Structures are given as C-alpha cells and as structure tokens.
Amino acid sequence: MGDIRNNSQATEGSQRGLVAHAVLVGLTPLIPVPVVDDLAKNYFRKRLVRRLAASNGRRLSEAELSALTSERGRGCVRGCLWAVLVYPLKAVFRKVFYFLEWKRAVDLASRTYHFGHLADYAMRPRGGGASLIDLCGAAAVGEAVQAVCREAPIKPVEAAVRGTFRQSRRALRAAANLLASALRRLTGRARAEEVAEAIEQVEPEEERELEPVVARLQRSIASVPEEHFRNLRARLDARLGLPPDGT
C-alpha cells in the first residue's frame, strides 16, 4: 500500500513539473529580448527532461540529453539572424506581433507538454523492465518523439492551454517580464551555465507568479481524454518498431 501511494505521489509530482515547464517554455515568446528567448526555451526543455529522468530513477548523459532535446531545423545562426531582423518590426506592428506572440506561446506550451509526456514515457520501464531509451537508444527515441510531435494532433491539449492562457495573461506577462529582467544582460553567445544562473535568481518569485496558472492548466489537462495520450504513446512505439506497451 505504501509503495502504491509513493508511486502515485511521484506521478503527481512529475505531472505538475511537466505542466510547469510547458508554461515556462510557453512564456519564452513573450520575453522582449531577441535571441535570449531561445536560450531560455532550450534551458527549460533540458531541465524538464533531466527532472523527468530523475523521477524515473535515471541519470542521462549529456549526449543522451542533447539527443532527446535537439530540435530539427533549429540552426543557431539562422534563428539568431531572424530574431535580429524581426525584432525592430515589433515596435511598428505592435498589435500584430502581440497577437502572434500569444498564439506562439500557446503552441509552444502545447507542444512542450506533448514532448514531455512522450519523453517521460520513453524513460519509463516497460513490461520487461527496459525503457524505450534502453531498447532503441536516445538518438532514435529523440527523432521519433520529434516526428510524433510534428504529426500528431495537439488540439485537445491546445484548447486547455489556450483557455488557461486567456484567463492568465496578466500573470504570464508579469512572469515573462521577470525572466526578461534576469536575462537582459546576456547575449546570444551566453553559456548554458549563465542562462541557468540568471533564471535561478528569479525562480522563487517566478514560481509564486505562475502557481495559479500551473494549477489551472493542470486541472484543464486532466479533463483531456486519456485516449489522446494513449494514441500518442502508440504512435511513438510504432515509430520505433515496437508493440504498444499497454501503459
């Protein structure tokens, strides 16, 4: 009985952490500092995967972490150049970019939740005791997760995120400004350690600001039919040439 309770508490903690990181990644388009928003996004994605790994009793190597979190078609030079070119236009077309930023925030948060759900599933021991990463390797799993996240419908979770973000704009904007204040002094060449240090300076205040947002989104996602997530997991298994695990 104690083991069941502990497992339930661990699952609840992992779920809350996943929701919180989905919100944090969703905040990054709202950070009014070009290039640095991508640094923050990458930091939160990696931290999410590390924590999911820890909740599954696993310690990832840097190579495994990079393989699981790398994003197809995301070149630094191209992304940085685009950010620098677009940023001045935001002052001119403020209303248009305001709408696009919020739309991208919802999309990023939704896709991050799906990504985290699948990453957690890939690190979870299956029926025989081995995880997908043990069976197929982090590189193959990372590519398969990316493919499923690109192809699978996200509307059920996206609707939950959109509704939560619509009700929480003031808190989200305040949290984004907190991150911006910490990250503004960094450049596009900032090291991961510098990004982590800057974010950790405002983390307690950030968590307080986002607490009601995370709680609201967690309740909304709980109402998404389990069939949606079962289908995601089945797609990942199929991509890797494995039978569904039944979890």
- For position 246, what pLDDT does the model report? 64
In this prediction, residue 2 has a pLDDT band, given cuts at 50, 70 and 90, of very low
Confidence check: pLDDT of 97 > 60? no
Containing structural domain, residue 102:
2-239
Residue 245: inside a domain:
no
For the cut 70, the answer to whether the pLDDT of residue 1 exceeds it is: no
pLDDT at 244: 84
- pLDDT at site 36: 78
Q: Is 244 part of a structural domain of the chain?
A: no
The answer to whether 33 touches 181, Cβ cutoff 8 Å, is no
What is residue 30's predicted lDDT score, i.e. its pLDDT? 87
Q: Could you tell me if residue 179 is inside a domain? A: yes
pLDDT digits (tens, 9 = 90+) for 19-31: 999 999 999 988 8
Q: How far apart are the first and last CA of the chain?
A: 20
**pLDDT over threshold 80, residue 77:** no
247 within some domain: no
**What confidence score (pLDDT) does residue 105 get?**
94
Residue 102 domain-assigned (yes or no): yes
Q: What is the pLDDT of residue 121?
A: 96
| pLDDT(79) > 90 | no
pTM: predicted TM-score of the whole model, two decimal places = 0.86
> Is residue 57, in this structure, part of any structural domain at all?
yes
> Is there a domain that residue 246 lies in?
no
Q: How many domains does the chain have?
A: 1
Q: What is the reported pLDDT for 94?
A: 46
- The average pLDDT across 149-173 equals 95
Looking at the domain assignment, is residue 73 inside a domain?
A: yes
